[in-house]
Structure 1
Amino acid sequence: MHPPTLATGNNSSHPVLFILLGIPALEKYHFWIAFPFLVMYAVAVAGNITILHIIRTDHSLHEPMYLFLAMLAVTDLVLSSSTQPKMLAILWFHAHEIEYHACLIQVFFIHTFSSVESGVLMTMALDRYVAICFPLRHSSILTTSVVIKLGAAVMVRGLVLVSPFCFMISGMPFCPNNVIPQSYCEHMAVLKLVCADTRVNRGYGLFAAFSVVGFDVIVISVSYVMILRAVLQLPSGEARFKAFGTCASHVCVILAFYIPALFTFLTHRFGHHVPQLVHIMFANFYLLVPPMLNPIIYGVGTRQIRDRVIHGCCGKDP
């Protein structure tokens, strides 16, 4: 391993580059492990681009639910593309080095767009709540202007909360060790290489994470409690089934995002007895599996999108 070269200035020092190990303990299998990751990444990119194309070209889909879905697709493309090309380069070409500022940029994109994804899932829950509990007022409450403002709000929230991560780290001295034992730069993984008191950084990280996830999960939970109450009051079983069906895709997407995200977050801080390999694999899946599954879940579960995909693939109406 190359010895780290330190850049100094402003009473701080940092490595010129970091070494990303990829998946430690499985180095001899890196070449083969890359193939399923490539397939998942290709599905994520193709699926989300397809979703965006369908929504853009079909004016009947320019409704709140599909506009939020388009935001989710863009977020998934950014999340997966911020890590997977570098990870594949590590696994296939042993390109373990990442420049210091490129590492901080990766930290910024990963955490900002994780926050945005959580926010988009929250706004989608609000959309389902309004659609089911106030169906006659849905179009007047969630206008295109309101949808854009909600999307801008979750984007600004991510930028405001995550930007301090990078500024705080950039002013701190680093230890001679410049090895990150995973395949991408993540806030806590980089923070562990700092040779200084990091309690403020860790405290702010917890505050930012719980501010985002805590708020969003509360809003999602309250929305679905209200939805459940409204659905159970519907007179017919068919109407209840149809109402639940409109929420099923969203619930699956929520679970696919929050379960690995919370596992990764809690393991970094409290899971000292979790095997490193398990932690690293979950960290990789957290940024790749949801972007891959989301277009599949909505493609299968949403009739309008499913019909457009079938029509595009088969050249005939389904």
Structure 2
Amino acid sequence: MTLDLPKGRAPSIRDVARLAGVSHQTVSRVLNDHPSIRDSTKAKVLQVMEDLQYRPNRAARALSRGRSRTIGLLSAESAYGPASSIAAIQDAAREAGYYVNTANLTNVDPESIEAAIDHLMNQSVEGIVVIAPQVRVFDVLEQLSIEVPFVTLSSRGLLNDNSLSVDQMTGAREATRHLIDLGHRQIYHLAGPQDWIEAEARMRGFLDEMWDRDVPTMAPILGDWTADFGYHAGRELLRMRDFTAIFASNDQMALGFMHACREAGLVLPRDMSIVGFDDIPEAAHFWPPLTTVRQDFAELGRRCIALLLSSLGDGPPSARPEPIVPKLVVRGSTAPPPF
């Protein structure tokens, strides 16, 4: 038996019912896995759905059940790390049968944050994921009464069990320890913006490792994550050349600093060692390839959805999440000091 559909029209639930010889209510019960449906009827309906390449309207089904099956995503940036986590969140949500609605913050003032949360709530989201690692965002979240479960992808330790994060301090200590173990004692840290949670944690990790190893500390230099800042900071620092290594708080600033070194006639890593943070896809193709700290952003996104689904009752109970430990990736940008 075949079914001729008008050109351009997708098959409907009534088309499936007609071809299977059942009512559309029966098809609906099959879609909802109703226990009253006989196995033979279910098999016949599913076969017709496959033959027609019928795709159920999830939105309509969710509405009939009184649920939106939609997760809200509040994002304040689109750099490599968050973009990778967002992709993983979307994949994991889709696999679990959820849609994802995104609200992007161009400003992180309290009014903009509250407006974005209200926008997501007006879409009837069942839970919210927050990827906005600035301190001021967390300050606002702590004051809001968010009516649905939410998970944040950074942690200040103030939102109970609602956060997932990478252990930034451990990663920074690993990077600093690597340079000290190579013999470096004059090490600068190019830090991220002061308002960023990750930047603060990486700076603390650097300072703690230097202190614990009894290495003299030079004041960290606050940057803005960009390669341009790394380049201009490098040009200024290289006027003095009172150091042999740099730990940059992200790979982009490390790239800019490498540019300044090449412009100054330095050979890396013979004359200067550099460590970055993040392990962006291009880091292995810098010249020399960049030693850096790898964060598993995809795993962070997957764990985020698992935690949120557990809060929604759609997943197994979740224990208190442990931070993901980053990994030092040693490549060609570090070596013992030249003297």
- Whether TM exceeds 0.5 here: the answer is no
Q: Which structure's residues are more often helix, by fraction?
A: 1
Q: Which has the higher contact order (CA 8 A, sep 6+)?
A: 1
Q: Which structure's residues are more often strand, by fraction?
A: 2
TM-score between both structures, scaled by the size of structure 2? 0.24
The higher radius of gyration belongs to 2
TM-score between both structures, scaled by the size of structure 1? 0.25
